[in-house]
Amino acid sequence: MRYAMAIDLGRCIGCRTCAVVCKDFNAQPQGIWWNRVFTSGTPEYDVAVKVNDQLRMEFVPISCQHCTDAPCETACPTQATYTDKDTGTVLVDYDRCIGCRMCASACPYGVRQYNWGAPAKMVGLDGSVYRYGWPHEYRDGDHLVYTPERPEGVMEKCTFCAQLTSQGQDPACCTACPGNARIFGDMDDADSPIRRYLEGKETYTLGEEYRTEPNVYYIAAHGVSQVNLLSTGAEGEEANHG
Partner 1 sequence: MVKSTRFIGYIGIVLLVVGLAGWAMQLAGGLFTTTGMTDIFLWGLVIAMFAFMVGFGAGAQLVASAIYLFGKDELKPLARTAAAVGLACVAAAGVAILADLGAIRNILAMIVGLNLRSPLAWDMLALTAFIVVSVVQLVMIARDARSTKVWVILAGLCAVVLQIVEGLLFSMQSAHAWWATPIMPIDFLVVAFVSGSALMLLIACVKGAPQTAVAWLGRLCAWAIAVHLVLALCDLGLVALENSPVSGGVLAAIGTQLPLYLCELLLPAAAMVILFAMGRSGKASWGLWASILAIIGIFCHRLMLLYPAYNAPSLYLQLGGATTGPYPVSTGRYLDWDQTFALATNYVPAFPEWLAALLPIGVAIIGTFVLLWLMGKMAPAKGGMAADAGAAEGARGSEAAES
120 DSSP 8-state letter: P
Asked if 225 touches partner 1 (CB under 8 A), the answer is no
Show Cβ contacts of residue 197 under 8 Å, excluding neighbours closer than 6 positions. 6, 8, 183, 185
Asked if 193 touches partner 1 (CB under 8 A), the answer is no
Please answer whether residues 154 and 92 qualify as being in contact, where contact means their C-beta atoms are separated by less than 8 angstroms: yes
Beta strands in 135-220 (DSSP E): 138-140, 143-146, 155-156, 182-186, 203-204, 216-219
- Closer residue to ligand SF4 (CB): 153 or 236: 153
Show Cβ contacts of residue 226 under 8 Å, excluding neighbours closer than 6 positions. 54, 240
Closest approach, Cβ 144 to partner 1, in A, equals: 11
Asked if 13 touches partner 1 (CB under 8 A), the answer is no
The stretch near partner 1 (CB under 8 A) out of 100-108, 128-136, 173-181, 225-233 is: 100-108
- According to CB under 8 A, which residues from 30 to 89 bind partner 1? 30-33, 36, 38, 40-43, 49, 51-52, 54, 56, 58, 60, 62, 71, 74-80
Closest approach, Cβ 80 to ligand SF4, in A, equals: 4
The stretch near ligand SF4 (CB under 6 A) out of 17-25, 43-51, 90-98, 231-239 is: 90-98
Closest approach, Cβ 182 to ligand SF4, in A, equals: 16
Environment class of residue 223 by beta-carbon count within 10 Å: exposed (0-12), middle (13-18) or buried (19+)?
Answer: exposed
Among 24, 55, 83, 153, binds partner 1 (CB under 8 A): 153
Environment class of residue 70 by beta-carbon count within 10 Å: exposed (0-12), middle (13-18) or buried (19+)?
Answer: buried
Asked if 76 touches ligand SF4 (CB under 6 A), the answer is yes
Show Cβ contacts of residue 141 under 8 Å, excluding neighbours closer than 6 positions. none
Among 99, 151, 179, 193, binds ligand SF4 (CB under 6 A): 99
Asked if 159 touches partner 1 (CB under 8 A), the answer is no
Contact partner, 26, from ligand SF4, partner 1, none, Cβ < 5-8 Å per class: none
Closest approach, Cβ 110 to ligand SF4, in A, equals: 8
Among 29, 71, 119, 185, binds ligand SF4 (CB under 6 A): 71
Asked if 155 touches ligand SF4 (CB under 6 A), the answer is yes
Show Cβ contacts of residue 229 under 8 Å, excluding neighbours closer than 6 positions. 236, 237, 240
**Would you state the torsion angle of the CA atoms of residues 63, 208, 83, 21, taken in this order, to the nearest 10 degrees?**
10
